[in-house]
Structure 1
C-alpha cells in the first residue's frame, strides 16, 4: 500500500500548491471509516481507494480529485454520510463523492435496471464536473485489476461485460486511450480468455522469429526523418490483443492475414512539423492506399489529434504510423485529464486544439438522450449506440463539421444538427445528388437535408438511424403521437358515455372528479378510457353518482364501430392479439379478413382500428403513413364464437336451379349467405359475388372446395373488394 507521506509527495511533486492538510485528513478518515473491512483477495478494503488515488496521481490530477478518490466508497460502504463529508471536506468534495457513489439502495428486481439507474446518476454528476468520471474510471480500472479474486464466474462476467460496453467506451470518449486499452484487455481476458491467450502466443512466436524488429524499425524511421532535418522521438509497439481480435472479427480474417500488427508513433515539437514528417515518410516508403486519416485537421470528438498513415516501411514490413506533437501525444494518452491539467495551470489549450467545452459535446448529447428516454433501460441502450468509436466526418452546406459513428445515415446527420430538422426530414442531397435516407455516409460527404413542414417521424426510422440521439428522439415523438391518438379516441368514448345520460361532455366535470378516478389530468382520463383501464360506467359514477343510463348493458366498454353482431360469446373479448384493450375496431369491407389470415390494423383518429388482411390493396394508400399501422394476429387457440364474412366470386352455368344448388352446397357445409350480387351475365354463365358467414379461413376454404366439386360451378375463388 502507498504510505500517507508517499501519496502527499506524489501530489506535491506536480502540484506544489496542493492542500497537504486536506490530503492527510482524507487519508486518515478513509482508513478509519473502512476499518476492518476486507476485499475479496483478503487485503484491507482501504487499499482499494488508496490504489484508485494512486492511479489518478499518475495522471497528475488536482488534490480535490485525489481526495475524492480516497473517499469515493465511504458513503456507500461505511457509516459515513454526505453531511459528514461536507462538514469535514467542504461541499465541492461532498458533491464529487456523491457523484461517484452508486445507488446502492435501489430496490429493483432487474440487475440491468439498477445498472442503468447508476449510469444515469453518473452521467448527471459528470455533466457538472468531469472529475467524477475520472475517479469512476480509475475505480473501475483497479476493480478490473483485481477481478480474478472474485469467486463467482457470473459476477466476473457481468462486471467485464459492463466494462467493455460502458466504461471502456467512456474512457475512449474522453480521450484516455491508455486507460481504455487496459480496461479492454482485462475485460477481454474474462470474456474470451482462450482467444486472448491464443493471440498472445502468436505474438510471442512472431517476436521470437523477428528478433528485436520493433526497435530496428523505430531506429530506421528516426534516421530517415533526421536525415531530412526533422528532430523526432519514434516508438513502436505491438497492437493489443483485443485490438487485433476486433480487427479479425470486423474484417472476417485470420491472424495470419493481418499485416499491420505493429504501430509506431512519431512525436515532434510543432504542428507544422507533423506534415513535414508525413511528407518525408511518404517520399521514403510506399504508402498503403486508403489508410490515411488526418485527425489534426478534423479532430475526433474527444479532441484526439494525430495523423494516421500506413506504409511498407523498413524491412518491407507493413506498418501503421501516427504522427503528432508532444502535447497531442499527452492528450492521446490521458485525454481530458491532460486537458484538465492545462486548464488548471494556465487555462490555455495546447496546439490550438478544440475550444473549451467542445470536447464535451458528446456529453450534452447524452444528456439529451437522458431527457427523451422513457425508462432507464432505453437510456442505457441508446447511450451504448452513442458511444461508437469509429467515426465519419461530414459537412453541412455551410461547411460545419459533423462527426458521426460509422454506418450513420442522413437521418443521423439531421438529428445531430437539430431534433426539429430530424423530425421534418423527407430526403437528403449527398454531394449534390439526391439519395435515400438509408444511404450510409462516408468521410468527407457534404450533406444537405431536404425537409417538409408536414413530415413527421415514422416507426421505420428506428431501423435506419445509428446514433442513440436520433433513436431516442424518434421514440419520444412516437410515444407522444400515440398518446394523442389515445386522447382523441378516449374523448370520443367519453362523449358517448355522457350522451347516454342525455348530457354534453364538459372537461370541467371530469376535472372535478380526478381524485376519485385516481388520474392526474383530464387527458389521463381519456387515455385510461381508450386503453380499457377505465370503464364508462366508472367515469359516470365518479361524476354523476347514482345516475344510470337507460341501457348500460355490460359494465365493460365495448366500443365496436360497425362491428358485426356475434352469434355466440358476445360477452367475450375479440380474439385478436395486439389490440389495445377497449379500443374501437371494425373489419375492413374491402378484404373481409378471417381468422387464419395474416392481418394488420390501421388507426383512424376518433374511429379506432380497422382490421385488414395483409394482402389488401387498400393498404397501399397508407404506405406513406406507417405510424398508423398496428401489428395484429388472431388468437389461434381462441374458442369458435363470432361469425365473420368471407367473400367469394363464383361463375356458374346459366341454368334453372343453379342458384339453389349453390346455396344448398354452402348450407350443407354450415355456411350462411349474408349477401349476393350478380356482377355479370351471359347466355351461358352467370358471375356473382357471395358474402358467406363463416367461422374462419379454414371453414371458407372447405366451402370453396365443396363448390369446386359441384358440376354447376364453373369456377370459384375468394374475392377481395
Structure 2
C-alpha cells in the first residue's frame, strides 16, 4: 500500500474534488457533498463531509488487495455506522479510522482538525487494530483486557471496530486462504459474540454467516442451496398465516405496524443441525414470523390472538419483555403449531423494541431514557453493561492469562439464566450456574459463609443447576466456609476464583505466622519487627524471588525457601549490599572468594579438579547455589551438597572441602530437582502444570499424584533444571497458577 504525506494539520485541501470520479459514493454521502458544494464556505460546518474529504486526500493512491481504491473501505464503514444511527463523531471516525495507521497523520492532528471526541474514537480503533487475538495466550489475554478497557471508556470504539470488521469480511475473497481462515475464525470467536452482547443483530448474523462461508465452505454452500430450494413453499405458507393474524388483530383493535417473516441466517441453521444432530428437514424454524405493534399492552394482546389462532407448543414461550436479555433485547417468543402441522416461531414486539433488537447499543442513542447527550461511557448504574463490568472484574480477579482467555471464550458468549432474589431482584448468571455461583454474585462474604440454599422454597443441594425464574435464597452461617468440592460444579469464573483465593489466603496466614516464628527462633525476638520492615529485608525477599517480605515469610513457613538461605542472604545483604555474589567469611563451609576459577576445566565443580565426585541426591544442588564438598567414606569420592543441607551438619570438619560452581559457559547440562505441589483437586490440574513446564522446555522425569476426598491434591514432580535462576523462574510461574495452594522444593535423605 502506498502511503501519502499528511496534509497540514490546520486545513483540508480546498483543491480536492467534492464529488470524486474514481470511487462510487452512496446516495447519502453524495447528497451531503452536493449540499456542501453549493456553498464551499460552509465546509467547516459539516464534520462528516470534512472527514470524508480529509480521508480521500490521505488515501489517494492507495489500493486494497482487490484493486479498488482504498477510500472505498472507510466510505463503507462510515455508511454502516450511519445506518446504525451513529452520531456525526462516529461517522467521521468511520472515515478516519485508518489514517493514523496507514498515513503519517497523528492523533494530535486529528484532534486539531476534528476535535477531541473524534480523535479519541480514531485512537481507540487504531489501538484495537493492532491487537492479535490469535497470538500466544499471554499476549491474547492482554489484548482482550485492553479492548474491554477501551470499550468501558467509550463503547462507540468497539462499534466502529465492528463496522470495520464487517466490511473487511464482506471483501475477504481478495486475501489468501490461510489469512481468510484466520480472520474468519477471529470474527466468529470474538467479534460476532461482541456484536451479540451489544445487541447489534444486523452485524452479528452477517459476521457469523461470512465466517461460516470461509471456515466451512462446503456446508455453507449446501445449506444455501437447501434454503433457496424451500423458499417458495415457505413463503406461501407464511403469507397464509400472516393473512389470518392480520385479520384477527384488526378485529380486536390492535394497532399492527408491521408483520414480517424473518428467515433464519445460514450459520444459525448449521449450528442447530450440528448441536442438535438434526438433518435440514428436521429444522422447522427456518423462518420466524415477526409481529410489530404499537405498545407493550398490544404485545400481550397480540400474544393472546396468536395462541387462540394456533395451538401453542408447551414450554416454548419466553417473555423477554418482562425479563430482558443483558443486551437490552425485548420481545415475546412463542412457538405454535402452524399450517400443515409444522411448528412456527412467532416474535412479538414494539417498534422501539424492534430497533433495539436490530441495532442494539446504537438504538440506545436513538431512544435515550433521559433527554441529555449520548451516554457513551460505562456507568456503574447502567444495567445495559453489567456483562462488560463483569469482564472488567474478571481482569482484576483472573491473573493467569490462560484461565482468563478460557473463561472469556466459554462464559462471555454463553446464554444467561435469570433468577430472582427473595426481594424480587433479577440476577443473570451463566447457563448451568448453581446456588454457589449465585451466592458469590451477591457478595464474596455471602459465598464464603454459605451453608445451604432454598430454591423456590425447597432445600436443594448447592450443586443444583438453576433455571430461568428460580427464586434463590442463600442461607449463611458464621462458621461456614467454602468446600473444595464446590470447584467441581461452579461455572462462573468469579465464584471459582474467590473459592481458590479463600483457600490460598486461609493457608497463607498460617504460613506467614510460621515463617515469623522460624525467624524469631533463629534471630531472636528483639528487633525482629523493625528488621522485617527494613530495606535489607526487602532486598532479601527480592533476591529470593518474592515481591514482599510477607510473601517471603509465607514461603519460609511452608518450606518453599529454607531458613538457612534466608539468614545467609540477610547477613550478606547487611554486610555488603552493593555486591551481588558475596559469601560470609565467618562460615566454615564456604569456599574462599579468592579461589581461582578454572575456566578451562570441563568439570562444573571448581576446587576438586581430577577427583571423583557426584551430586548429592539429598539436596540436588544447582549451579548458582552455594555448595560444599564432603569426602565420602566409601568409594564415591566427593559428594557435592548445598550449603545448609541437613546432612552436612553431621559431618566432621576435616571431611569438608570448599568447592564452588565453575561458570556454565553455555552448558546445556541439567540436574534433577524434586518439587512438591499442593493444588486444588480438579480434573486436568496435573495436565495444566505439565503444559506450563513444557511451554518453558522443562523435562519431567517423574510425576505422581495423591488425592483424598475433600482435600487438596499432592503432586510430586522430578524435573531437569539448568541452574538456580531457572528453577526460581519456573517455580514462580507454577506458583502463580490459580489452582496452586502450596509449592516447595523437596529434599530426600542420603547418608554420605
Q: Distance in 1 between matches of 2:33 and 2:483?
A: 55
**Residue equivalent to 1:365:** 390
**Residue equivalent to 2:732:** none
What is the correspondence of 1:40-119 to structure 2 with a 5 Å cutoff? 40-102=65-127, 110-119=135-144
Match of 2:288, SS?
A: strand
1:7 to 8, 29, 39: 29
Does 2:241 align with 1:217?
yes
The answer to which of 376-385 and 545-554 deviates more is 545-554
What is the correspondence of 1:449-460 to structure 2 with a 5 Å cutoff? 449-458=474-483, 460=485
**Residue equivalent to 1:258:** 283
Does 2:283 align with 1:283?
no
**Does the aligned pair in 2 maintain the 1:4–1:27 contact within 8 Å?**
no
Distance 1:367 1:694, change over 3 A: closer
Match of 1:365, SS?
A: helix
The answer to which of 160-169 and 28-37 deviates more is 28-37
Distance 1:208 1:3, change over 3 A: closer
Match of 2:46, SS?
A: helix
Please report the TM-score for the alignment, with normalisation by the length of structure 2: 0.69
**Residue equivalent to 1:543:** 574
**Residue equivalent to 1:512:** 535
Distance 1:473 1:163, change over 3 A: farther
Q: Distance in 1 between matches of 2:132 and 2:275?
A: 39
**Residue equivalent to 2:728:** none
Give a deviation string over 1:326-372, Cα, whole Å, max 9, x none.
111111111110111222994599xxxx9972212222111111222
Q: Distance in 2 between matches of 1:549 and 1:507?
A: 26
Distance 1:348 1:466, change over 3 A: farther
Gaps of 5+ in 2: 1-22, 36-41, 577-583, 591-626, 629-640, 652-659, 661-669, 679-702, 722-747
**Does the aligned pair in 2 maintain the 1:369–1:472 contact within 8 Å?**
no
Match of 2:80, SS?
A: helix
Aligned-pair CA distance for 1:110: 4.0
Match of 1:267, SS?
A: strand
Please report the TM-score for the alignment, with normalisation by the length of structure 1: 0.71
Aligned-pair CA distance for 1:274: 0.8
Distance 1:387 1:11, change over 3 A: farther
Q: Distance in 1 between matches of 2:508 and 2:425?
A: 36
Q: Distance in 2 between matches of 1:488 and 1:148?
A: 64
**Residue equivalent to 1:206:** 230
Aligned-pair CA distance for 1:477: 4.8
**Residue equivalent to 2:182:** 158
**Does the aligned pair in 1 maintain the 2:133–2:140 contact within 8 Å?**
no
**Residue equivalent to 1:680:** none
Q: Distance in 2 between matches of 1:239 and 1:262?
A: 5
1:272 to 297, 307, 316: 297
Aligned-pair CA distance for 1:68: 1.6
Distance 1:694 1:381, change over 3 A: closer
Distance 1:27 1:215, change over 3 A: same
1:309 to 334, 340, 343: 334
Gaps of 5+ in 1: 566-570, 581-610, 639-692, 696-721
Does 2:514 align with 1:431?
no
Q: Distance in 2 between matches of 1:482 and 1:30?
A: 60
Q: Distance in 2 between matches of 1:549 and 1:46?
A: 76
Match of 1:101, SS?
A: helix
**Does the aligned pair in 2 maintain the 1:495–1:504 contact within 8 Å?**
no
Q: Distance in 2 between matches of 1:120 and 1:78?
A: 27
What is the correspondence of 1:373-388 to structure 2 with a 5 Å cutoff? 373-388=398-413
Distance 1:210 1:379, change over 3 A: closer
Distance 1:429 1:73, change over 3 A: same
Q: Distance in 2 between matches of 1:470 and 1:183?
A: 32
Match of 1:102, SS?
A: helix
**Does the aligned pair in 1 maintain the 2:673–2:718 contact within 8 Å?**
yes
Give a deviation string over 1:612-651, Cα, whole Å, max 9, x none.
9948xxx56xx3xx3xx2431465999xxxxxxxxxxxxx
Match of 2:367, SS?
A: helix
**Does the aligned pair in 2 maintain the 1:8–1:23 contact within 8 Å?**
no
Match of 1:310, SS?
A: strand
Aligned-pair CA distance for 1:394: 0.8
